[in-house]
Each structure stands twice: as C-alpha cells, then as structure tokens.
Structure 1
Amino acid sequence: MGASTDVSSLVRNYWSVLLGNALEWYEFAIYGCMATYMEQNFFRGSVLATWLGFTATFVARPLGGIFLGILSDAFGRKLAVMLTIVGMLSGTVGQGLLPTPRGAGDSAWGSFGLVLLFSLRLLQGLCTGGEISTVSTYIVEVSGHESKGRCVALISITVNLGFLLARTVVWSLQLILGEERMLDWGWRLPFILALLPGAMALAGRRDLKESEEFQAQKEAREAGAANSKSGASLSEHFVNVLVGIGGVIAFAVFQYGGMVWTNSFLEKHGAPANMPMLAGMCSRVLQMVLSFFVGWFADCYGVALVTLASGAMLCCAGAPFFFLLASYPDNVANIFLIYGVGYGIIGAMVGTVVFMYCAELFPTSVRNLGVGISYNIGFSIFGGFAPLVAEASLGWSLYGPGLLLSAAGLLTLLTVVISMMGLRAGKLKLAYLRPELYFGMSSKSSGSGSKKPDSARQAQFTCVAGV
C-alpha cells in the first residue's frame, strides 16, 4: 500500500479524530487570539494577568495526560478521545457564557465569573493534555509503517487548521461587528460556535475502532501471555520521558512564545490594524502546506533527524527573526516576510513530526501514558510559560523574546544529540516503531540490535514519495 493510499484511508476512517483534534486546538487558540478582549473584560487591563489565565490550562495538561494516558493504555484509545472532546466542548462553550467583571462591575457576580473562567481553563487543560497524547498514539498506531511521517503530518495539519480557524473567526467577527461590539459581547461568539462541529466530531468518534497494536497487546494481557515488553511499566522508561520533554521544547516555545504571543506584541507596537492576524493566518496555511514535505522527509531520513534539524533551525533563526520584527513592527512587508513566511517554515519543521518523535520512545503498553507525560510536561513548563516569560523579558530587553526562541531550539538540538550518543552506546532504546529508520540509520547501527519494533507492519522500508 502506497503512502497516498495510507493517508487517504486514514482520513476516510478516522476523520472524526482529525476533526476533533482541529476543534480542540481551535478552542484552545481562541483565548490567545482574543487576549485583548479577555484582558479588558476579565482582568481590568492587566496584560500579565491575562496571560496567566492562558497559562492556567498548562498547569492541568500533565494531569490530563497522566489520567487519560492510564485510561487509554488500560481500556483503549476510543474511550479517551470520547472523554476529551466532551470535556473540551464543555470548557470552551462555558467560557462564552460567563459573566465578566467588566459587565458586572464590583459585584460578586463578576468575581464569580472570573473564578469560573479559571476553572473552565483548567478543564480545557485536562482535556487538551489527554487529547493530543491519545490522538498522537492513535494515529501512529493505525498508520502505515512506510508512511507514518506523512500520516502523522495530518495531526500537524489539524493543529494548524484549528489555530487558523480561530484567527479567521476572530478576524471575521472583528470586521463584521467592530471593536465596540466585539468588546461588549462579540468575544463570546467564537467560544459558542464550537458547539456544532464539536457535536459532529463526538458523533463520529462513537464508531471508532481500536488500533490493531493496542488490541493485540490487550488480548495478550488478558490471556496472561503478555511478555515483559508488553507488560513494561513507565518507570523503566524514565530517561525516554526526559528525551521526550526535551524534544518538544522547540515546538512548545515557538507555538506560544513565537506564534501566539508575537501576534499581541505586534498589535501593541505599531503594526497596522489586522496585519498581524493576516500574517499569522498566512503562516498557518504555509505550515499546513509544508507539513507533508516534512513528514516525507521523516519517512526518508528518520524522525530524530528531522527533530535535530528543527532545533537547529529555531536556534539559528529565532533571535534574528524576532530582532527584525521588534525593530520594524510597523512595516507590513517585514511582518509578512518574517511572521508570515519565516515563522511558517520554522513552524512546519518544529511541529510536524514532534508527535511521532514522542510516540517512538515508548512500547505499546505504556505509549499513551509516556506521550501524555513527556509531551504535556514539556508543553506545560516551556510552552505554557513562554508568553509570560516573553512579556516579562521585554523589561530587560526589547529582543529578549528572540533569545528565548533561540534557546528553546538549542535545548531540543542538544536533547537529540545527547540521546543519540546514548543510543549509539547501547544504553538507550529510543525507537519502538521504526528502529530501522530513526536517525537515517539501519537497525544494525541504531543500537537496537536485532530487536523488532512492536508494530505489526515490518515491511522493508522504501522511501519513494507518493508510493
């Protein structure tokens, strides 16, 4: 079966997973796209308090990854993705219905709305942490062995589609309603509009089937014949968890300290009206277009090599790109060239196969839990606090956020280099899905010996685009 057939089959059979994932990230991105409205409605003009509200979701993400990871590894991927979509919808639509301190004044009702906002943001964090780890595990396990990179690229596409839809909806409502009505009540609409597509995704997920890998592992466990590999505990893979955390740092910081926070930075530092939003939309489209090429590169040369290259790219380009944005924030061509095109290329590199990078690190029996912990801790610590750190760093230097981006790229680069040294020395096993193609190396030179990956598909890998 060719790569194009694998991808089309995945979309046909698991559309509800992909739609739900796009919706999850739309819901998650809405708050960031409307930071100025949230700031005035809930936080009385405090920028740092507004981004603290954004960060609240990241506090709960590791807990969601752990709880739903355990649930998924024990009872199945389907149950986990059902719970995440229900919780995320409740948290999102609920935010659009809250009373606000701006509307209620100094009354207890306004304070109650603020408390509920943080509560619903925490619920979103729990569900987002479980959603991305379960979807990553699910898609990796049901995709074709030779085309996993291109199939996993669909996750990146739906993530960017969610962020793109959030920007498009907010921008369209701004044009239709104007600033005054958006501030008064229009900000509620993007939250509430998530209800209809969410209901469609929920209905579609009811008919999902478990992955063959999980089903085989479950049957072996129930029969009492599971070997030590399938019965492994996550404690045996502690170093792999650390490798996963380091591997997502570049993507986490770029996503929220680069894409999300920079939008508000440009708006407040002289950028023409709507230009940051339009450039951000162009960046998301470019990331979606480039995702399949990055996935193909991973299918040819390995997911670890792509992760290494993405860390190096952000390390080299993060600081100078932001320097240019900060130096000429009112220049339309500069905004589109850097924030639209430059950030689009970086985003595609750092974000396309990071989900597969984490999933590769763990065997089937603990894969969802391993991804849930490593990915979500990395995002919570480094991504969740990136807007706060970026905003605070402006007090030290106008170019502080750029140095933050480059430092994030360097940490991911070093993570891959150090982990590969351990792999070559035979002290680590990093690839459970495609050890024959992890860093452009054959299975004999990868440190995996003659061990086979725990995928049911062991076909000889051939790198031919579209075949």
Structure 2
Amino acid sequence: MADGAPSQIRQIAGGAAGNLVEWFDWYAYSAFALYFAPAFFPKGDTLAQALNTAGIFFIGFLMRPIGGWLLGLYADRQGRKAALTLSVALMCAGSLLIAIAPTYAQIGIGAPIILLVARLVQGLSVGGEYGASATFMSEVAEERRRGFLASFQYVTLIAGQLLALGLLIVMQAVLTEAELMDWGWRVPFVVGALCAVVVFFLRRGLVETAAFKAVTAAEHKGLMRRLLAHPRPLLTVLALTAGGSLAFYTFTTYMQKYLVLSAGWSKIDATRISAFALLGYMCLQPLVGALSDRIGRRPLLIIFGVLGTILTVPAMHAIGGATDRLSGFILIMAALTVLSCYTAISGLVKAEMFPANIRALGVGLPYGIAVAIFGGSAEYVALAFKSAGHESGFFWYVSIMCAVALTAAYLLPDTKKHSKIET
C-alpha cells in the first residue's frame, strides 16, 4: 500500500473492528436462541421452538443477496468506506429492535413479526458487509502478505461469534436459566447495538482504497452489465460459497444445537466446548492465510474440498456419539481445521477474481445468493432431517456440497498468480 505499513495496519484494524461487531450481532441470535425462543413463539416442545427460530434465522439470510447487490453497487459507486459505514449502521438498528421487542405473551403474533423484521434488516447489513469488507481488506493489503492480512476478515467474523458465546457463558454463570429466558437474552442485543455505534464513528475515519480511487467515472456506469460479462468468476463464487458456507454454518452455528439435541450434552457444556473450538479455529485463520501466500490459494481450496467430501459424514456421526467432552472437542477442531482451508482465504480468492469497478458487487452478490440458499438454511435443514428421523441425510447433503466446491476449486486458476487486484 502506498501510504506505508502503519497506515495499512490501521486500515485493516478499522475494517476488522466493524466486521467483528457485525458478526457479534448476527451470531448473538443463534447463541441465545435456545433462551429467547419461548418469548417469541407459542409454548410447545423444544424442537418445535428451535425450528421456528431457525426458520427466521434462514429467512434473514434471504436478505443477503439483496444486501450484497445494493451495498455492492453502493461500494463500487460511492466507495468501500461508505458501504462499510452504512452496513454497521443497519446492524445497529436491527440489534436495537430485537433488544426492545415485546414478547408473544404481550402482543401475540406481532412479536415474531418484529423479530422477523429485525433479522431482515440484519440480513441486509451482513449481506453487504461481506463483499465490502472482503474487497476493502484485500485492496489495502500488500501483495506479499495479502493472504495473511485478508484472513483477518474471518478472524473477526469468528471472534464476533466467540464473543457472543463468551457473553452467554458469563451470563449462564451469573444468572439462573429462568432469568436468562425472562430478560437476560436481551443483553447481547443491547451490547451489540452500542458497539455498532462506536464502530460507526471508527469507520468514518477509514481512508478510501487506492484501487477504488483509480476507477474512472465511466467505469462506474452499467455495473450489472459489466458484472454479467464475467460468468465464470460468478459461477465459481456461487459454487465455492455453496459448499463452504454450508460446511461453515454446520460446524459453527449449528454445532451448539447439535451437541444439545443429538449428542445429549447440556446447554452449558455445549456452549463451552463450542467456544473453545471457535477460539482454536480463529487462531488458525492467519496461519492458513499466510500459508496461501507461500503455496497459493488453489491447493488449500482443493484440500478443503477433498477432505470435506470424504470426512463430513463420519465426523458428524462421531461428534454425535461423543460422550467424552475432550474427544468431542478434538473431533470438532479437526473439522474446523479442514474448514480453515476455505474460510481463511475465501473472501480474498473471490476479490482477486474481479476488476476494481465491480469487485464488491462481484463478491457480494453471488456470495449472498449462495449463502442464503445453502449456508442460511443449514440449521433449518439439519433440524428438519432430524425431525423426520433421517438425521444422517443432512450429513450426506453437506458432503455433496463440499464436492461441488471441490469441482470449482479444481477448475479455478490460482488467484495468487492471476490476481486482478492492482499491485
């Protein structure tokens, strides 16, 4: 970067801080879902309430493509900084709405409708955040350390989820289960909204990337037409995201519920093991990112595809049968290590496929479509398979989609050698 290393570090830190808050807010929903589900839905069995909250979690994902499209266009026309600032403002609004939402007992069907609206706003925010963040962090990173520096997108993404789980662990220790289900579940959404306000002002201090500044006024016109002129990168992003996001949400977001509902663990044990596993997973991201700077991006994507295809089914069966907490942790960490070969470099690989004038849109839109269909539905599909008595069918589904990602990775020229990010 022309401004030098110190400026680069500040840029990466500024983009990462916002990403962390975005994903803390997003994952707080999943981490606390077991506690707030009865507040928004009629009384019933635990599995039915889990299905209801998972359904709204999935519907929120349907806004991802719209967010990727609208904020992608905004980022490619008005700048990465402007899009990142807008996305965190939207996330703040969604979190605040959940924090103050009345319950089903108070207003009936209006309660889940308010929850749905809040998740739609958050989905719009996160859908735009991914493309803008991946583009911004890839463009400000120097070429020789681009994999390492860009991996902090997922470091902060995982850190946001980890902080949500960490807050849950603390609250489980200081509050009773009745207090958590009564009012405690509102706390993370208040915290998220307040942190988003801080990051909003932090992001206003970011410096626009040189790559965006170099785009001419004429290149800002007809962005959708220009994007459709790159069908192969679009299909590649779709395929990689389909398999990668499904595996990611299976082994992170859904894993906590899987340990409770299928392995028979207590909520507290499942939360703690998930938190420790996510901490290890977070630390793996920069290591794998740095490895990609040495050996390239494509070999790592192929490793993820091959091992994800072969090992998902036996790994999920083994985790589901793990009664010993240490063995469960080791199995989850093994799966997350394989997954790191995708997540550490996923945003960078996608950004390296597109020219600067359509980069945020090219990353955000196909990512949003694929993650809405496959990643966002992971929890709901898994619970539906379980409810139907065919839980292992979900494991095979994940394995097949990893094979789809493998095919895309195999056909992909190594983006490290053929990057479209200006050096």
TM-score, normalised to structure 2, is 0.92
State the partner residue of 2:365. Answer: 373
Task: Please report the RMSD computed on the Cα atoms of aligned residues, expressed in angstroms.
Answer: 2.3
Per-residue displacement from partner, 1:183-202 (whole Å, max 9, x unpaired)? 01111111111133222211
Task: After superposition, give the CA deviation of every residue in 1:274-304 in whole Å (9 maximum; x if it has no partner).
Answer: 2211111112111121112211121112222
Q: Which amino acid aligns with 2:275?
A: M
Q: Which runs of 5+ in 2 are unaligned?
A: none
Distance 1:455 1:388, change over 3 A: closer
Match of residue 413, structure 1, among 399, 406, 420: 406
Residue correspondence of structure 1 range 250-329 to structure 2 within 5 A: 250-269=243-262, 270-328=264-322
**C-alpha displacement at 1:231, in angstroms?**
11
AA aligned to 2:68 is G
Q: CA contact under 8 A between 1:77 and 1:138: conserved in structure 2?
A: yes
Which has the bigger relative contact order, CA under 8 A and spacing at least 6?
A: 2
Partner in structure 2 of residue 393 of structure 1? 385
Which residue of 91, 94, 111 maps to 1:91?
Answer: 94
How far, CA to CA, are the matches of 2:329 and 2:138 in structure 1?
Answer: 34
Look up the match of 1:446: none
Matched, 1:50 2:53: yes
Q: Secondary structure at the match of 2:301?
A: helix
Q: Which secondary structure does the structure 2 equivalent of 1:209 belong to?
A: coil
**Superposition deviation, residue 227 in structure 1:** 12
SS of 1:362's equivalent?
coil
The answer on whether the counterparts of 2:91 and 2:121 sit within 8 Å (CA) in structure 1 is yes
Counterpart residue number, 1:81: 84
Letter in 1 for 2:191: L
Shift of 1:343: 3.2
* 2:349 counterpart residue number: 357
The answer on 1:343 being equivalent to 2:335 is: yes
Shift of 1:131: 0.7
- Alpha-carbon shift at residue 118 of structure 1 (Å): 0.4
Secondary structure of 2:229's counterpart equals helix
Distance (Å, rounded) in 2 between the aligned partners of 1:322 and 1:144 = 39
Q: Against the structure 1 CA distance between its residues 207 and 401, is the aligned structure 2 distance closer, same or farther, given a 3 Å change threshold?
A: same
| Paired residue secondary structure (2:109) | helix
Shift of 1:454: 4.4
1:332 paired residue number: 325
Aligned pairs, how many? 414
The question of whether the paired residues in 2 share the 8 Å contact of 1:303 and 1:356 is answered with no
Task: Note if 1:170 corresponds to 2:171.
Answer: no
* Contact 1:89 1:198 (8 Å CA) reproduced: yes
1:323 positional shift = 0.7
Q: Is the 2:247–2:339 contact (alpha carbons within 8 Å) kept by the matching residues of 1? A: yes
Cα deviation digits, residues 220-246 of structure 1 (max 9, x gap): x23x6x699999700101221111011
CA contact (8 A) 2:312 2:395 kept: yes
2:120 partner amino acid: L
- Contact 1:230 1:363 (C-alpha < 8 Å) held by counterparts: no
Q: Distance in 2 between matches of 1:187 and 1:179?
A: 10
Q: Which structure has the larger Rg? A: 1
In the TM superposition, residue 349 of structure 1 has moved relative to its aligned partner by 2.1
Q: Which residue in the other structure is 1:384 paired with?
A: 376
1:144-293 to 2 correspondences below 5 Å: 144-217=142-215, 221-222=216-217, 233-269=226-262, 270-293=264-287
Q: Deviation digits for residues 141-196 of structure 1, max 9, x if unmatched? A: 11101111001111110011001001001121121111000001111111111133
* Cα offset, 1:133, TM superposition: 0.7
1:102-143, Cα deviation, whole Å (9 max, x unpaired): x32xxxx23222211101100000010001110100011111
For the structure 1 residues 333 and 76, does the alpha-carbon distance in structure 2 shift closer, same or farther, using more than 3 Å as the test?
same
The amino acid of 1:412's aligned partner reads: A
